[in-house]
Structure 1
Amino acid sequence: MTLSSLVAASTIPGPVRPAIMVVAFEGWNDAGDAASSAIKDIKAATGAVKVAGIGDDDYYDYQFSRPQVRRNGAGKRVVKWPTTRIYRASLPESPVDLLLVRGVEPTYRWKAFITEILTRAEEENVQGVMALGSLLADVPHTRPIQAAVSSDDPKVCEALGALPGSYEGPTGILGVLAQFSEAAGLPTLSIWAAVPHYVAQPPSPKAQLAILHRVEELLPLALDLHELGEDALAWERGVDALATGDADIAAYVQQLEQAQDETELPEATGEAIAREFERYLKRRHRPGAPGEEGPGTPGTGGQAPDTPGSSD
């Protein structure tokens, strides 16, 4: 079961198509910009259009979340202020649409900020919430980056195989959003990718790719991830080159590899293999999926590719 099918099964028909809200915020919840970049990819792939914006001065300390100077096409200087934008993507072949929320984590008045987002979500008939995040962790860049799916809703965990939430400690705006969403009765889950802490600077295409693979499993989406996959390989080769040039870093990476290999081999587990096969079938049977050709199409012999294809 996917989050979209779970939502569709419990939604009462109304004047506005039901939607799943997918959220990411730059800042504390977004190591390597992996989560916010994943939202940008979904927006581009679905042709989502802007339906609202939240940019109140009361939410931001501009000495902390500084505005950025940009030059437009005419070379004119423009100041870009921290804000949150909301987009809606229509998915005609799906029972649900997507409401994409991408912004900067606010400094002040988090409760009011979340209330404003959820008010807009209610107007857009949001029936489920997916929060995307990335965090720094003691993981090696040379191993597959895992994106964990978790929820504090027992029904979501049972239906989707998500891990029950167990984290205690400081939280970001995503943690507050999840609590408010669950209190509103919305099925809510989180997807978090682990970014190697010694390469924390953005971009982090390997973590971004892990998040998007998870999103594909849980939503009616088939994304073209070929280019991002190439970026992830290039990123790994670049970090390899830096690590081999420093004996201390190389030894540390080897230590992380050994620790992970001794505890788990996620790429070889039955669960991971089943998940990859499901992704393959999903791409093969969706008409017009990116990078796919139908049976008997010249150049493929009727066979699906061996691997999935890869501004505001």
Structure 2
Amino acid sequence: MTHRIFAGRTLVVAFEGWNDAGESASNAAKFLAKQLNCDVVGAVDPEDYYDFIFTRPSVAYDASGNRVINWPATEMCAPGVDVVSESPELGRVHLLIGTEPSRRWQTFTAEVMEMIEDREIDAVIFLGAMLADVPHSRPISVTATSQNEAARAAFDLERSHYEGPVGILSVLGVALEKASIPSIALWASVPHYVHNTPSPKATLALLSELEKYLGVQFEHGELAQEAFDWERGIDEAAEADEDMAGYIAQLEKTRDEVESPAASGDALAMEFEKFLRASEEKPDEDDSAV
């Protein structure tokens, strides 16, 4: 059953880059956009906010065979009319999908907030993913926090007490709180030793957690198979690498010793702060260091 906080129009937000280990969060949002047959209802002009040397546009051919440039963008999407007609409850789910901006974050945030106001968004759910010392062979942990008092009370959540460098999700979160729009943040822990490839298992974990708050169920079939294949592929790689196998076994042992690993908020909070501090210690190489 949907809680009243998310009973109205709810915006699900994910950005590629520093907030998006294993592309888990952005792929979760893109998966939803496909399922909802979304239409773009608002966009931020990329020219003002991206350094194209670091966040490069790409070239492709469209359906007519024309060569076109695809620019990094931040777009707000709404479910297609056909989807809403068949499942009216999905009409309240909107998406904001983009690439973390390179500059002018305050102006960027103001533009996003205008779109949120124009679309009469009632609540926001952020999706993020961080690299952590966790094994791929165990359930992917997802931690939920909120800076909003009503959301914390409704879902028995903790607020984040982290202080330090942040990504665009945190900047938007502060702006939402000032506007009295409740939000929560869902963060998946992605095994750091497989950070160079997308993690469908983490994407699936985020989607499953998101469904609990939205009170809706999406079809996971294809993604569930991808998650299984991802885990199996790492198992096979570890079988051929003794050092990797030993390291994973140690992570599994540590994880199994935790009384309730899937719900260990303190442990996840520690991993989150460790991840953010590690990012502070090394210079940014590009926007993909979200």
Q: 8 Å contact 1:152–1:164 — kept in the other structure?
A: yes
Q: 8 Å contact 1:20–1:96 — kept in the other structure?
A: no
Distance 2:218 2:200 in 1: 15
Structure 2 equivalent of residue 72 of structure 1: 62
Equivalent position to 1:33, from 8, 12, 23? 23
Equivalences for 1:19-30 in 2 at 5 Å?
A: 19-30=9-20
For 1:64, the aligned partner's letter is: F
Gaps in structure 2 of 5+ consecutive residues: 265-290
SS at match of 1:251: helix
Equivalent position to 2:37, from 27, 47, 53? 47
Distance 1:255 1:30 in 2: 25
For 1:88, the aligned partner's letter is: A
Distance 2:102 2:222 in 1: 35
Q: 8 Å contact 1:195–1:204 — kept in the other structure?
A: yes
Structure 1 runs of 4+ with >4 Å offset: none
The offset of 1:215, in angstroms, is: 0.9
The CA deviation string for residues 221-242 of structure 1, in whole angstroms up to 9 with x for no partner, is 2100122111111100000111
Computing the radius of gyration from Cα coordinates, the structure with the larger value is 1
Identify which range, 239-248 or 65-74, moves more after superposition. Answer: 65-74
Gaps in structure 1 of 5+ consecutive residues: 9-17, 270-312
Q: 1:131 to 1:267 in 2, by over 3 A?
A: closer
1:231 equivalent to 2:226? Answer yes
For 2:73, the aligned partner's letter is: T
Q: 8 Å contact 1:94–1:220 — kept in the other structure?
A: no
Distance 1:267 1:109 in 2: 37
The CA deviation string for residues 19-61 of structure 1, in whole angstroms up to 9 with x for no partner, is 1111000011111111111111111222322111112312011
The offset of 1:266, in angstroms, is: 3.7
Equivalences for 1:155-304 in 2 at 5 Å?
A: 155-266=150-261
The offset of 1:95, in angstroms, is: 9.3
Q: 1:7 to 1:235 in 2, by over 3 A?
A: closer
Give the share of equivalent positions with the same residue, in percent: 41
The offset of 1:264, in angstroms, is: 3.1
For 1:164, the aligned partner's letter is: R
For 2:162, the aligned partner's letter is: Y
Q: 8 Å contact 2:78–2:91 — kept in the other structure?
A: no
Distance 2:54 2:170 in 1: 20
Q: 1:258 to 1:136 in 2, by over 3 A?
A: same
Q: 1:114 to 1:265 in 2, by over 3 A?
A: same
Q: Name the structure where helix makes up a greater proportion of residues.
A: 2
Count of aligned pairs: 259
Distance 1:59 1:267 in 2: 37
| TM-score of the two chains, using structure 2 as the length reference | 0.84
Distance 2:73 2:226 in 1: 28
Distance 2:27 2:90 in 1: 26
Identify which range, 125-134 or 153-162, moves more after superposition. Answer: 153-162
**Higher RCO (C-alpha under 8 Å, 6+ residues apart):** 2
